């Protein structure tokens, strides 16, 4: 009976879709870098550069590259490549690139041993609005108005491990917000125009091309009840885009990246009410098991619609609570005597 129960649970978890306001970054441990040729020496050098990019994505910050504890890992990069492949890319389509996929466990272990927080692969999706002003006037940067620049936007955020989407720019978006309205970076207007997409994180930018050839602009990042603004004067569009991706990645990592020592002690108790069906139980446990910071999930008590789980994890209750913000079906509940436990109500 127990064996059949476990088989049923595994099967359900494999097919279950959990509606969360976050995405799993699938290529977190992969990166593509240019190479001059296909020689062994070039491959080794490229693997090192690709690992740098992966480390930045995994931690959310470029500061990881300055850690003395990480330096030995860079020297070992080639030995921990699981797959690599060559392709042609670039503006003209003739730039040789190598794409590497690294051993995730090895990368995570190096980061943990260096004492640097890891940023879980469960990451909030960001909606991005960008208004450009040049000789054509003001217009949204998208696949119709500026396909090359729109591709740069997505690539820059992907390289920092931030799931990003551009608005559809259909009739609904046109009615909701104009380029001139978006140019003002009014938070309330942007939130209203973004509401149809169901995202909690919005980044908007405005950029003007100067006669000197430089660009001047602003980025505004809206997350929950917080807002981060940054004004920039940069030599290229690419520099502006990278600055926006850095702004968002740094802020997100500061919120969600957690130190990850090995699980120890008695773990953290999580209480969930509103668990009415087996599918609810499977969804909750499956999502918790997907968190890199959680080593094990044990059901301690099931009583009616109430579930108590013990998580083996090395992170604090506060850090776990921040990660739980990513699942919109887990609504926090205040309990008078909760102690070090976390309490939620499941929205089925």
Taking each helix axis from N to C end, the angle separating 237-256 and 147-159, rounded to the nearest 10 degrees, works out to: 30
Sign of the Cα torsion 222, 150, 160, 314 reads positive
CB 310 within 8 A of CB 266: yes
Q: Which residue has the higher pLDDT, 177 or 17?
A: 177
Q: Which CATH class is domain 122-256?
A: alpha beta
CB 310 within 8 A of CB 301: no
Residue 117's nearest CA partner among 255, 290, 242 is 255
CA 271 to chain centre: 26
CA atoms of 133 and 206, how far apart (whole Å): 8
Dihedral over alpha carbons 12, 14, 16, 19 (to 10 degrees): 150
Please give the structure tokens belonging to residue 244.
Answer: 């926006």
CA atoms of 211 and 231, how far apart (whole Å): 19
Residue with tokens 């380029």: 179
CB 202 within 8 A of CB 185: no
CA atoms of 254 and 223, how far apart (whole Å): 12
Tell me which H or E stretch contains 345. strand 342-346
Structure confidence at residue 2 (pLDDT) = 38
Residue 208's nearest CA partner among 192, 232, 185 is 232
Structure confidence at residue 239 as a pLDDT band (50, 70, 90): very high
pTM confidence score = 0.76
Tell me the pLDDT tens digit for each residue of 172-207: 999 999 999 999 999 999 999 999 999 989 999 999
Structure confidence at residue 73 (pLDDT) = 96
Q: What is the DSSP letter of 305?
A: T
Q: Is the pLDDT of residue 257 over 50?
A: yes
CA atoms of 318 and 296, how far apart (whole Å): 18
CB 50 within 8 A of CB 76: no
Structure confidence at residue 338 (pLDDT) = 58
User: Phi-psi region for residue 91, left (φ > 0), alpha (ψ -120 to 50) or beta?
Assistant: alpha
Q: Is the pLDDT of residue 112 over 90?
A: no
CB 134 within 8 A of CB 207: no
Structure confidence at residue 337 as a pLDDT band (50, 70, 90): low
Q: Is the pLDDT of residue 248 over 90?
A: yes
Which segment of 44-53, 94-103, 267-276 scores lowest on mean pLDDT?
267-276
CA atoms of 262 and 109, how far apart (whole Å): 10
Q: What is the mean pLDDT of residues 73-89?
A: 95
Q: Enumerate the domain spans of the chain.
A: 26-113, 122-256, 268-346
Q: What is the DSSP letter of 276?
A: -
Other Cβ atoms within 10 Å of 342 Cβ, number? 21
Please give the structure tokens belonging to residue 78.
Answer: 């080639």
Structure confidence at residue 319 (pLDDT) = 79
**CATH of region 268-346, choose from 3.30.1360, 1.20.120, 3.40.91, 1.10.8:** 3.30.1360
CA atoms of 304 and 300, how far apart (whole Å): 14
- The string of DSSP letters for 129-167 reads EEEEEETTEEEE-STTT-HHHHHHHHHHHHHTT--EE--
Structure confidence at residue 15 (pLDDT) = 31
* All residues at 6 or more sequence positions from 120 whose CB lies less than 8 Å from its CB, including other chains: 256, 257, 258, 291, 292, 293, 323
User: Phi-psi region for residue 5, left (φ > 0), alpha (ψ -120 to 50) or beta?
Assistant: alpha
């Amino acid at each position: 009976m127990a064996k059949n129960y476990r088989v049923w649970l595994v099967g359900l978890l494999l097919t279950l879709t959990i509606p969360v306001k976050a995405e799993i970054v699938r290529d977190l441990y992969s990166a593509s870098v240019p190479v001059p040729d296909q020689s062994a020496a070039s491959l080794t050098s490229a693997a090192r550069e690709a690992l740098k990019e992966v480390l930045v994505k995994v931690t959310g910050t470029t500061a990881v590259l300055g850690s003395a504890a990480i330096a030995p890992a860079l020297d070992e990069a080639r030995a921990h490549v699981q797959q690599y492949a060559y392709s042609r890319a670039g503006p003209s389509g003739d730039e040789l690139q190598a794409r590497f996929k690294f051993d995730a466990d090895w990368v995570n272990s190096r980061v943990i041993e260096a004492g640097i927080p890891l940023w879980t692969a469960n990451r909030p999706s960001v909606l991005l609005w960008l208004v450009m002003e040049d000789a054509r006037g003001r217009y949204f940067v998208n696949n119709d108005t500026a396909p090359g620049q729109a591709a740069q936007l997505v690539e820059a955020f992907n390289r920092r491990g931030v799931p990003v989407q551009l608005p559809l720019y259909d009739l609904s978006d046109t009615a909701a917000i104009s380029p001139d309205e978006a140019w003002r970076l009014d938070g309330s207007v942007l939130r209203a125009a973004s509401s149809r997409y169901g995202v909690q994180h919005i980044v908007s930018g405005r950029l003007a091309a100067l006669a000197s050839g430089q660009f001047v602009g602003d980025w505004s990042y809206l997350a929950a009840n917080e807002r981060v603004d940054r004004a920039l004067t940069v030599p290229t569009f690419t520099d502006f885009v990278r600055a926006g991706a850095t702004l968002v990645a740094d802020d997100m990592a500061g919120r969600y990246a957690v130190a990850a020592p090995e699980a120890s002690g008695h773990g953290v108790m999580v209480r969930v009410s509103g668990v009415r069906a087996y599918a609810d139980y499977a969804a909750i446990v499956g999502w918790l098991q997907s968190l890199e910071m959680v080593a094990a999930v044990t059901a301690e008590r099931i009583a009616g619609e109430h579930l108590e789980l013990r998580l083996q994890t090395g992170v604090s209750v506060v850090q776990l609570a921040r990660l739980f913000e990513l699942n919109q079906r887990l609504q926090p509940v205040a309990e008078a005597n909760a102690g070090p436990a976390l309490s939620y109500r499941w929205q089925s």
